[in-house]
Amino acid sequence: MKKPVFSGSGVALVTPMDSEGRVNELVLRRLIESQIEHGTDAVILCGTTGEAPTLDDREHLLAITCAAQTIRGRVPLIAGTGSNDTRHAIALSLEAKQCGADALLMVTPYYNKTSQSGLLRHYYTVADAVGMPIIVYNVPSRTGMNIQPETYKALSRHPMIAGAKEAGGNIAAAAKTKALCGDELPLYAGNDDSIVPMLSIGAVGVVSVLANVAPRRTHEICALWQAGKTEEACALQLALLPLIEALFSDVNPVPVKEALRMMGYDVGDCRLPLGELSPENREKLHRAMQEAHLLPVAV
């Protein structure tokens, strides 16, 4: 049985930018402190929500170092170091390890993609070279690459493959993966609209966009479920669905950065090619934030 890197709610944190488009360390520290204060169980940096595709290696390592210095071991720090080049994934992972990451989040190769056997070679090669826990990240809508349950079974045999963030949106496939892997591959929900469904088939937590703006409630969904209060967990999941829908009304992280700005966090804009939220979706998001009691309602 493998010990999960974390259980509960891990925030897929945005990367705040200053007015010049540079990584804003001061705001990053503020966001992390707020997350820990409000019960987040792990911090995940430089993933999809952290705009990893537009961060160069220096910026990746700057953000990871800043986070490690801020967290000081209070919660696990998981660094996104995936690449479609195995050599680059190894090099960036080793640097992240030196910067203080506790584990890695590693997306499947994108654009060039690979076969299922190529996936095994990719992950095994990185895991052998890096020697630290790796959470595999499956997000076919972004990469055009899907990990099959049987491939997960093979991956689970490696001692450093410590979990999987499953964002494929297929609960049946995730259930098959759980049946095949058991406790040798801890699963994490990768979509906020299916935290409870994933927990119901044995997931140990979530890597969450929602937690950027509602960390306490995202944590509570998992904590309630783990405490056996399944009805309460389900009710909270359902109550948050309008907010979750609004947070994905445009390409992530465009809406969640807008939501954080509404809350007073100077996280800056997304880097191109990601654009601005439309007025219609901004109004939808603002209304959902008010209904979730995250913003005051005008009287």
Instruction: State the catalytic residue, choosing from 97, 165, 178, 257.
Output: 165
Name the residue among 210, 287, 293, 205 with its Cα closest to residue 248.
210
The answer to whether 215 and 11 have CB atoms below 8 angstroms apart is yes
Q: In terms of Cα–Cα distance, which of 31, 23, 36, 34 is closest to 72?
A: 36
Report the C-alpha gap between 182 and 74 in whole angstroms.
Answer: 28
Residue 257 is a catalytic residue: no
165 is annotated as an active-site residue: yes
- 258-276 b/e with 16+ CB inside 10 Å = b? bbbebeebebbebeeebee
Residues 126, 148: Cα–Cα separation, whole Å: 19
List 97, 123, 137, 265, catalytic entry: 137
Contact 54, 17 (CB under 8 A): no
Look up tokens 């963030």; give the residue: 165
* Nearest to 109, CA basis, from 83, 146, 129: 83
Only one residue has tokens 């937690």, namely 211
**Residues identified as active-site:** 137, 165
